[in-house]
Amino acid sequence: MVEASGATGPPVVRIGVAELRRRPGQRRELRREVDLAPVEVAGSALAGDGRAEADLVLESLSDGIVASGTVTVEWVGSCRRCLGATGGRSVADVHEIFKDRADEQGDASAGALPVEGDGVDLGPVIHDAAVLALPLAPLCDPGCRGPVPDVLPVATPEEPAERPMDPRWAALDELRFDEGDRGS
């Protein structure tokens, strides 16, 4: 059920880099709110209007551009244990390299995205990071005990469901401390 891009695909977020590329090592901070096409993974989807916040730094290399930073999304989904509606914010890291088309054939640029003229398109990068940020198996709460904890206990990190009842502890339940008698 991964229909990440659908028919519309990622938006074009074209950023001019001519100025940045005058000198290798120059950096430029970039904050953008980007409206993505509906993005959905198995357990969750982008909330509301499908907005992603990109908080990136572009740095010029001698033969390209590095984009690094984070993409933050708000998501909605169903809890994997109780199936209740849940949601939240999550963040994915971005580290992407854009290189000049001239050395597209070289091994070194394998996996790099192209610098197109004087610009780079951050749309696919932001889109892919938003997909990665979406939780595949969300929880409404880390301690969620499922829809019917008394009948179908769910293992949680805090309290493993499989833990057998130790008969030695049962004896403690029988003990009664009568505070009223103390000190008299």
Residues of the shown chain interacting with Zn ion in the complex, contacts defined by CB under 5 A: 79, 81-82, 140, 144
CB of 42 to Zn ion, least distance (A): 16
CB of 45 to Zn ion, least distance (A): 17
Task: Name the one residue in this structure whose structure tokens are 């509301």.
Answer: 48
Please tell me the distance from the alpha carbon of residue 25 to that of residue 46, in angstroms, as a whole number: 35
Contacts of 161 (CB under 8 A, 6+ apart): 153, 154, 155
Amino acid identity of 74?
Answer: E
Please tell me the distance from the alpha carbon of residue 33 to that of residue 19, in angstroms, as a whole number: 22
**Residue 131 vs 140, nearer CB to Zn ion:** 140
**Residue 79 vs 134, nearer CB to Zn ion:** 79
**Residue 11 vs 43, nearer CB to Zn ion:** 43
CB of 84 to Zn ion, least distance (A): 5
CB of 137 to Zn ion, least distance (A): 11
CB of 156 to Zn ion, least distance (A): 10
**Residue 160 vs 164, nearer CB to Zn ion:** 160
Long-range Cβ contact pairs of 21-28 (< 8 A, separation 24 or more): 21/60, 21/65, 21/118, 22/60, 23/60, 24/60, 24/61, 24/62, 25/59, 25/60, 26/59, 26/60, 27/57, 27/58, 27/59, 27/60, 28/57, 28/58, 28/59
**Residue 34 vs 79, nearer CB to Zn ion:** 79
Cβ atoms of residues 4 and 39 within 8 Å: yes
